[in-house]
Amino acid sequence: MGNKRILVTGGAGDIGSHMVRLLLEAGHTPVIFDNLSTGHREFIPKGVLFVRGDLRKPLDIRKAFKKYKIDAVIHFAALIVVPESVAQPLKYYENNVTGSLNLFQEMIRAGVNKVVFSSSACVYGQPLKTPIKEEEPLKVTNPYGATKVMVEQILGDLAAAGKMDYVALRYFNVAGAHPSGEIGIKMDKPTHLIPNVMKAALGKVKQLQVFGDDYPTKDGSGVRDYVHVLDLCDAHLLALKLLFKEKVCRQMINVGNGKGFSVLDVIRTAEKVTGQKVPYKMSPRRAGDCGCVVASFAKAKRMLGWTPKRDLKDILESAWVWQRAQ
């Protein structure tokens, strides 16, 4: 594939910043495009090219493509908090859908036609069977998931018109952090399980709330497929390779560990990893949640040669290092 210049939208964010480091290690030149609304300036490594801009402003994007000769794009930038998307759908459609439309228009204008898109397991809603394959019907249950389905649809139509090649990676539950402890999931009010478990283990919150104990799972708590952020970034690099290898490429690919862990499993493992008690209390189900979401990553293995290298223990160990470094 050789040294490529990759525009990384959301490259100052929790996941994008891990991808920027991997691109550097692989000998590529990342160009970060971020409005720092949820990204962190301190996550940008010294010397990395950075364009502060907003996907809602096409001229900001045009400036980046004019300034740098871009070979491909990895598109992370989006709002991702499901309950917030229910309360403020327009904010999500404007940022996640209009922002993507503007990006694709500017890519086509600049003659750039390769994109790896950050999609989500949320496109499946509550699946009928798990592990979930990419052929499962899409049944979104919230505006956040709807924005991901819409952007996948837009990419499919652009590809059919011969304007774009893409790999849409459907993330399952991304967690963990860079082993250096320099970057990780840094949300003001984290909604995700693993950051909340770490805060409870550190005594930063009195008790973890376990949302629901009556799901049809082995212990009644929600089951999810946790995938290490570094494994996820490996999948993006392999997706880039596929885009530069294939003449035409239009793929949706799951990225998950293929194993499900319940909330209580995560608590028990976190107590072993941290050596701390995780105080928790059973609470009612959280609106919009489903019982069990676990990936089949057979297609990622077949198309990308990707398999997860890190397990739940690795995820929790790296999250613990990051939490204590805060």
Single out the residue of 50, 65, 171, 306 in contact with ligand WQD (rule: CB under 6 A): 171
Stretch that binds ligand WQD, among 2-10, 203-211, 247-255, 298-306 (CB under 6 A): 203-211
**Is 85 near ligand WQD (CB under 6 A)?**
no
Return the number of other C-beta atoms located less than 10 Å from residue 215's C-beta.
Answer: 19
Cβ–Cβ < 8 Å for 239, 167: yes
Nearer to ligand WQD, 133 or 163 (CB): 133
Single out the residue of 122, 123, 255, 300 in contact with ligand WQD (rule: CB under 6 A): 122
**Is 191 near ligand WQD (CB under 6 A)?**
yes
Q: Binding residues for ligand WQD, how many (CB under 6 A)? A: 20
Active site residue 166: no
Stretch that binds ligand WQD, among 39-47, 205-213, 235-243, 299-307 (CB under 6 A): 205-213
**Is 149 near ligand WQD (CB under 6 A)?**
no
Cβ–Cβ < 8 Å for 11, 33: yes
**Is 105 near ligand WQD (CB under 6 A)?**
no
Cβ–Cβ < 8 Å for 169, 117: yes
**Is 207 near ligand WQD (CB under 6 A)?**
no
Kindly name the residue from 144, 171, 215, 226 that is annotated as catalytic: 144
* CA angle, 79 then 84 then 87, to 5°: 130
Element (H, E) at 56: none
What's 8's DSSP letter?
E
Single out the residue of 18, 178, 224, 236 in contact with ligand WQD (rule: CB under 6 A): 224
Strands (E) across 41-151 are located at: 49-52, 72-75, 114-120
- Residues forming a β-bridge with 258: none
Contacts of 321 (CB under 8 A, 6+ apart): 177, 179, 181
- Tell me which residue has tokens 């160990």: 317
Single out the residue of 98, 286, 311, 314 in contact with ligand WQD (rule: CB under 6 A): 286
Task: Give me the phi and psi of 126, to 5 degrees please.
Answer: -90, 105
- Minimum distance from residue 314 beta carbon to ligand WQD (Å): 17
Which residues contribute to the site for ligand WQD (CB under 6 A)? Answer: 80, 82, 120, 122, 171, 173, 191-193, 196, 208-212, 222, 224, 263, 286, 289
* Active-site residue list: 144
